[in-house]
Amino acid sequence: MQISGAQMVIEALIAEGVDTVFGYPGGAIMNVYDEIYKQNSFHHILNRHEQASIHAAEGYAKASGKVGVAMITSGPGFTNAVTGLADAYMDSIPLVVISGQVPMSLIGTDAFQEIDAVGISRSCTKHNYLVTDAKDLPRILKEAFYIARSGRPGPVHVDIPKDVTAQIAEFNYDIEIDLETYKPNVKGNPRQIKKAMQAIATAKRPLFYLGGGVINANAADEVRELVHKCGIPAVETFMARGVLSHDDELLVGMLGMHGSYASNMAMSETDLVIALGARFDDRVTGKLSEFAKHADVIHVDIDPASISKLVNADYPIVGDVKNVVNEMLAQVDVVNADKYATWRETIVNFEELHPLTYHEDSERLKPQWVIQRVGELLGDGANISTDVGQHQMWTAQFYPFSRPRQFISSGGLGTMGFGFPAALGVKAAAPEKVSINFTGDGSILMNVQELMTAVEKKLPVINIILNNNFLGMVRQWQTLFYDKRHSETDLSIQPDFVKVAEAFGGIGYRVHTKEEFDAALQDAVAKGVVAFIEVIVHRMENVMPMVPAGGSLYNMMLLEKKESK
């Protein structure tokens, strides 16, 4: 059929099964928004800032496993969105972001709201397009969704000049995707898999190292089965929280800079690392020359560029984690789970020597208690988003995650302001679950305008603001490594968060005690409107354990014994 470029965008979204689009209109994308007005096949959520639109699409994608979609205009509309694109690129989140552009005849003339969007997005997207003819739009849009969701997922940017959205051309979406230079290898080499299983069978102290790629591949069930049939302990990265349930006896905990003592020591003592969908990030490895230096490495990843990029893989396997783990399960009989009993006991001893804990305070609530308490009250019934800072690490440490896609946070880029809009996207993707955003008094102000989005679209996100009147994580580093010179991190002057929430049409609470917190959370869940729960917490609390930047995993700063709970 002959339709306009703008109509093609709508038809492609419908064909891809898109049910929710996040965005913000403007002149260059106006033709597409006119077509959005005419359709009723998907829901559009108007954010109040383009950065928030991308983060909301990220939250939607991470919670649902689908491709998130956002739509923005040219110039500042696009530049506002770049942080979200970079965030999604770092964390391998599948997005299709469609931006308007000035008409073809004005490109390169410094026209009103013109920016080289494709040039800017090249380094922070998996792929990008500038559409110069409407007849190419069906193919480009179909490729965009395919590229975003296949292989190692990521954001794809499609920039469409305004005159192209007005052009009339043939729309045919029944197109075979055949990209000569992009053919992800999903199967995994059978010989390498066999060698890896033999290495596991002969190892004395093997350790599963689970990364966010397990969640992206929807492979958590298969990984749980493999871990238990092998009887091998497992550590998770920050991005992999929930792959194993918090009460799984083989889960050691989170690994890395703020990982548990047992996890970091297990990685330091292992003789075989079984890395599934992990990229050996610097916040996980610490000093590379000391990372798992006694171990051989099995590395399974969909992205060949990630294998042996930072840590040499003795058994490299390029493939989809789910497919490879299924092949490993078919050969799991070569592994004797009883063989690792002593190794498991060693790790239990690590856990008992320095458990992940905190010190209660009679005067101020501890943030760790707040996070644990939400887990006790809501547990599996909540999806958990976070902003970035101390609260983020405490959440990863202390929330009882029981399933994949329950934890949504900004990992690689560490974007303050991510949590609230992401939690809106999470709520849109999973309305049956309570959507909680753990945030700080610094992070929440970075996208506070999304209160209006939440009120308008009836998305009852509960924002738990752990208020220590500091940029907490930066303050922690200043305390520990800069002789307590707290340069520009004191946030003693802050708004009345209760009144801010109420001004937008939400509800606000300020709590100082455990009883007040319980009452506020239960009331917020019952009322079903967007909420701020400001929790006044201990100002100088530090996230522990901590591996200093560039340090070895086994050289952790630990909670002092006298402070043990």
Which CATH number characterizes residue 197's domain?
3.40.50.1220
In angstroms, the CA 153 to CA 89 distance is 8
In a domain, 70, yes or no: yes
Per-residue model confidence (pLDDT) at position 38: 98
Of 319, 353, 387, which residue sits at a domain end? 353
Same domain, 158 and 66: yes
Per-residue model confidence (pLDDT) at position 361: 87
Catalytic residue among 62, 126, 162, 322: 162
In a domain, 360, yes or no: no
Indicate the length of the chain as a whole number.
565
Same domain, 492 and 462: yes
Same domain, 115 and 202: no
Reference 222, options 333, 320, 322, 332; nearest CA is 322
113 catalytic residue (yes or no): yes
Same domain, 289 and 318: yes
**What CATH number does residue 425 fall under?**
3.40.50.970
Q: Are strands 382-386 and 407-408 parallel, antiparallel or unpaired?
A: parallel
Per-residue model confidence (pLDDT) at position 564: 41
Give the count of beta carbons closer than 10 Å to the beta carbon of residue 565.
11
Q: DSSP string covering 438-490, please?
A: EEETTGGGGGTTHHHHHHHTT---EEEEEE-SB-HHHHHHHHHHSTT--TT-B
Residue 418 tokens read as: 């991510």
Burial of 305 (0-12, 13-18, 19+ CB in 10 A): exposed
Give the count of beta carbons closer than 10 Å to the beta carbon of residue 452.
17
Burial of 337 (0-12, 13-18, 19+ CB in 10 A): middle
545: three-class secondary structure by DSSP: coil
Could you tell me the residue range of the domain that residue 195 belongs to? 190-353
Same domain, 316 and 429: no
In a domain, 453, yes or no: yes
50 catalytic residue (yes or no): yes
Same domain, 402 and 339: no
Same domain, 414 and 455: yes
449 catalytic residue (yes or no): no
Same domain, 374 and 332: no
In a domain, 561, yes or no: no
In angstroms, the CA 482 to CA 448 distance is 31
In a domain, 176, yes or no: no
Number of domains observed in the structure of the chain: 3
457 catalytic residue (yes or no): no
In a domain, 520, yes or no: yes
Same domain, 377 and 466: yes
Same domain, 371 and 341: no
In a domain, 48, yes or no: yes
pLDDT beneath 70, residues of the chain:
562-565
143 catalytic residue (yes or no): no
Catalytic residue among 30, 66, 104, 113: 113
In angstroms, the CA 349 to CA 351 distance is 5
Residues 266, 267, 272, 276, Cα dihedral to 10°: 110
> pLDDT tens-digit profile of 189-237?
999 999 999 999 999 999 999 999 999 999 999 999 999 999 999 999 9
Catalytic residue among 11, 50, 222, 450: 50
In a domain, 565, yes or no: no
Reference 65, options 408, 434, 437; nearest CA is 408
Per-residue model confidence (pLDDT) at position 560: 85
Of 296, 322, 353, which residue sits at a domain end? 353
Same domain, 345 and 373: no
Catalytic residue among 473, 544, 546, 556: 473
> pLDDT tens-digit profile of 245-256?
999 999 999 999
Please work out, in degrees rounded to the nearest 5, the angle formed at the alpha carbon of residue 35 by the alpha carbons of 31 and 36: 115
Same domain, 133 and 232: no
Of 119, 138, 170, which residue sits at a domain end? 170
